[in-house]
Amino acid sequence: MKKTPLYDVHVVLGGKIIDFGGWALPVQYSSILNEHHAVRNAAGLFDVSHMGEILIEGSGAKEFIQQMITNDISKMSPGRIVYSPMCYRSGGTVDDLLVYQLDTNRYLLVVNASNTQKDYDWLKDNCNIKGISIKDVSADYGLIAIQGPASQKILQNLTSTPLEDIRFFRFLDNVEVAGVNAMVSRTGYTGEDGFELYVAADQAVRLWEEIMEAGHQEGLVPAGLGARDTLRFEAALPLYGQELSPNISPLEAGLDRFVKLNKQDFIGKDALIKQSEQGLKRKLVGFEMIDRGMPRTGYKIQADGKEIGFVTSGGLAPTLKKNVGLALVKIQHSNLGDEFFIQVRGKSLKARVIKTPFYLKK
């Protein structure tokens, strides 16, 4: 298994290490639920160094990225971040990613760890603009996320740069945090306020320890992949491989606002326009269990005795204390209040479509 620069720290902290797509990462330190609640009420610190970073440089970089992703970065400027799906010609999803504009002709794509090589190849194979350099720079970075309402207060103790000036989906490069040079980004994957700090891989341990020390009194705890998943799930943020895949388009996943069908050509545009014009056949919905039971990823869903879809993510929403799920279902069963039956371990249990996100921060 591959190790992040923070591997030894996780072991010392008692993290329960699992194989996460080839990476040795902690699923939890104390308890997924405790870590979840800490992030909702105070703050949690996550090692997300496994994420992939792909650097795209050159005078045609913006044009190239525009061709590759569904969102529109034409009005982007340095210091801004755009979230976007990236599609195949079929309209299915290659990945969902963040685009950081570092400079006029310099962009950093932050991609899902398990997709890094695939994305890199896809970008290379589809680049027909001269003078563009595409580099996988993932190994250069350590990436630490501090998430939760106390994040700014904690981090502000470690830097003289006013963090309140960094607005949501903006970033600032070359910020000195606890003596470490960091790119500070107001982003995250938990549905809470928070920051992601990109640092040189060999500085990650020092920064982690400084932040833990500074945040201890505010209730900061180390948080693992388990809480990261329950937090993003409550906020109904898509997870590649579950809500998005080569077989699921971003329109089906409800990501319409990140798909700009009226911008210039991009890969997948024709297929997505067709989907949009003909009307979707299936759609991602949120549901809550009416019967007692636990919906899980992959469970089939029936209505009127026929299969109508499947659960993409499911389980306890710890903040709501309800068993809920996300599901891809036939469009005629996707209206609020629609009822269907989740096939849970040999039983057919009733569920009802509710609005998403399940959790929205105050």
Partner 1 sequence: MKILEDLKYAKGHEWVRVEGNRAYIGITDFAQDELGDIVYIELPEVGAHVEVDDIMGSIESVKAAADVYAPVSGEIVEVNEELETSPELVNEDPYDAWIAVVEMADSGELDNLMDAEEYEKFCEEEA
Report the distance separating Cα 156 and Cα 214, nearest Å: 9
Q: How far is the CB of 291 from partner 1 (least distance, A)?
A: 11
Sheet of 220-222, strand order: 171-177, 180-185, 194-200, 141-147, 43-47, 220-222
One DSSP character per residue, 261-290 reads: TTSS--TTHHHHHHHHHH--SEEEEEEEES
Would you call 292 exposed, middle or buried from its count of C-beta atoms within 10 A (0-12, 13-18, 19+)? exposed
CB contact set of 299 (below 8 Å; sequence gap of 6+): 310, 311, 314, 342, 343, 344
Q: How far is the CB of 296 from partner 1 (least distance, A)?
A: 6
- Residue type present at position 350: K
Phi, psi of 88 (to 5 degrees): -85, 170
Nearer to partner 1, 119 or 229 (CB): 229
Where is 339: in which H helix or E strand?
strand 339-344
Report the distance separating Cα 334 and Cα 354, nearest Å: 9
3-state secondary structure at position 142: strand
Would you call 330 exposed, middle or buried from its count of C-beta atoms within 10 A (0-12, 13-18, 19+)? middle
Q: How far is the CB of 297 from partner 1 (least distance, A)?
A: 11
Q: How far is the CB of 294 from partner 1 (least distance, A)?
A: 4
Distances (CA, A) of 45 to 167, 183, 210, 333: 20, 16, 11, 39
Nearer to partner 1, 32 or 237 (CB): 32
Q: How far is the CB of 285 from partner 1 (least distance, A)?
A: 22
Q: How far is the CB of 167 from partner 1 (least distance, A)?
A: 33
Nearer to partner 1, 313 or 334 (CB): 313
Nearer to partner 1, 16 or 153 (CB): 16
Nearer to partner 1, 47 or 229 (CB): 229
Q: How far is the CB of 211 from partner 1 (least distance, A)?
A: 25
Q: How far is the CB of 15 from partner 1 (least distance, A)?
A: 13
3-state secondary structure at position 54: strand
Q: How far is the CB of 18 from partner 1 (least distance, A)?
A: 9
Nearer to partner 1, 32 or 327 (CB): 32
Which ranges of 216-343 does DSSP label H, i.e. alpha helix? 225-234, 269-278
- Helices 225-234 and 32-41 sit at what angle, rounded to 10 degrees? 60
Q: Are 115 and 52 in contact (CB under 8 A)?
A: yes
- Residue type present at position 292: R
Report the distance separating Cα 74 and Cα 343, nearest Å: 45
Would you call 325 exposed, middle or buried from its count of C-beta atoms within 10 A (0-12, 13-18, 19+)? buried
Q: How far is the CB of 342 from partner 1 (least distance, A)?
A: 13
Nearer to partner 1, 86 or 311 (CB): 311
Nearer to partner 1, 91 or 293 (CB): 293
Nearer to partner 1, 16 or 106 (CB): 16
Nearer to partner 1, 18 or 102 (CB): 18
**Chain positions contacting partner 1, by CB under 8 A:** 16, 27-28, 31-33, 226, 229-230, 292-294, 296, 315-316, 318, 323, 345
